[in-house]
């Protein structure tokens, strides 16, 4: 009979590309992984690994076993979820990853609420970008990922992950303080009060998110759709830096609502016409959706989203 633990070891080697990386992820030694995989080869009666330098390549037979290991691991996770749902207390460790603005503005309230409701539940948080969170979730390094989606198709539409949107977060154009009293064209009919047209800032300098970021790409596309390519003065990863440069009068910048949530500003903040927003979602593995930890966390996230009021009002 094939050992389930050894199948999971093979699965980790397949995912991470080397015995050393799999060993580090599982907190065991590389020699222990090699020994267990040698046993698995004897159990299976076929060669599973082809070694080449520091990396290994899985044979066709090993790839077949990995597919079955994925199914087995999913079944084990579903069984754990069912067992946990039979207990009266919500216990264990819930591993969460969130992109920076959600980690700052959303998770403190959610984690506090969970600790009050379920004292036996421990929640850990990793502050990483959305793409890294999805990778960590697929690697079983976390249980729940908080990600942001802009105007591109959902990044988690496949890959065996479940996408749960719980709020919308508007995007705003931040202007230097002295521009707060500058005359501007009236917002067109149907636009939000105080809304500004991006085309009116075609000659301005822009303080942008990083070039490869989703917000940076969304801002660039929105400017291009308004008929101009922005004059980028700075690309900054930290929203605090973008705010500081805008408030220093060095340019205008696009900011999500959560980035300025409960934060005093001297910059002048305006919705855009047409309006821009991002979707905020929790991502989980489907086989764990009934686990009490996941159920409780999703409920708190939905509660936060329902109560969220963007900086300039309106629905979140």
Supply the pLDDT for residue 64.
82
pTM surpassing 0.85? no
The two three-digit tokens of residue 269, written as one number: 């903040």
> Could you read off the pLDDT of 15-73 as tens digits, one per residue?
777 778 777 776 778 887 778 778 877 887 878 777 766 667 878 887 887 777 677 77
Lowest mean pLDDT among 55-64, 201-210, 255-264: 55-64
Supply the pLDDT for residue 12.
76
User: Which comes out higher in pLDDT, residue 90 or 226?
Assistant: 226
Supply the pLDDT for residue 183.
46
Lowest mean pLDDT among 65-69, 118-122, 195-199: 65-69
* Buried b / exposed e along 153-188 (16+ C-beta atoms within 10 A): eebbeeeebebeebbbbbbbbbbbeebeeeeeeebe
Q: Which of 79, 48, 46 is nearest to 66 (CA)?
A: 48
| Residue showing tokens 């929640």 | 123
pLDDT band at 153 (very low <50, low <70, confident <90, very high): low
pLDDT of residue 182 exceeding 60, the answer is no
Domains of the chain: 4-85 (1.10.10.10), 92-168+279-307 (3.40.190.10), 170-276 (3.40.190.10)
Range 206-218 average pLDDT: 90
According to DSSP, the residues that pair with 171 across neighbouring strands are 256
Q: Which of 95, 81, 89 is nearest to 123 (CA)?
A: 95
């Amino acid at each position: 009979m094939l050992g389930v633990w050894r199948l999971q070891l093979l699965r980790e080697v397949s995912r991470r590309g080397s015995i050393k990386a799999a060993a580090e992820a599982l907190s065991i030694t590389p020699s222990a992984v090699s020994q267990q995989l040698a046993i698995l080869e004897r159990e299976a009666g076929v060669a599973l690994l082809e070694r080449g330098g520091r990396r290994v390549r899985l044979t066709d037979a090993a790839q077949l076993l990995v597919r079955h290991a994925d199914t087995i691991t999913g079944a084990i996770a579903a069984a754990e979820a069912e067992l946990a749902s039979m207990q009266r207390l919500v216990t264990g460790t819930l591993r969460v990853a969130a992109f920076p603005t959600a980690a700052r503005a959303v998770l403190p309230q959610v984690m506090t609420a969970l600790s009050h409701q379920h004292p036996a539940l421990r929640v850990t948080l990793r502050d990483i970008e959305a793409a890294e969170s999805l990778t960590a979730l697929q690697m079983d390094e976390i249980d729940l990922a908080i990600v942001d989606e802009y105007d591109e198709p959902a990044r988690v539409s496949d890959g065996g992950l479940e996408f749960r949107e719980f709020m919308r977060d508007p995007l705003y154009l931040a202007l230097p303080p002295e521009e707060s009293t500058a005359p501007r064209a009236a917002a067109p009919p149907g636009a939000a009060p105080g809304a500004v047209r991006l085309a009116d800032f075609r000659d301005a300098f822009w303080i942008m998110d990083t070039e490869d970021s989703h917000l940076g790409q969304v801002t660039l596309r929105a400017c291009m759709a308004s008929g101009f390519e922005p004059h980028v003065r700075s690309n900054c990863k930290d929203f605090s830096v973008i705010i500081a440069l805008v408030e220093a009068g060095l340019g205008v910048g696009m900011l999500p609502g959560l980035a300025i949530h409960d934060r005093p500003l001297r910059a002048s903040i305006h919705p855009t016409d047409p309006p821009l927003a991002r979707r905020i979602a929790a991502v989980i593995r489907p086989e764990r959706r009934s686990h009490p930890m996941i159920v409780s966390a999703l409920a708190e996230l939905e509660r936060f989203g329902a109560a969220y009021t963007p900086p300039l009002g309106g629905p979140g």
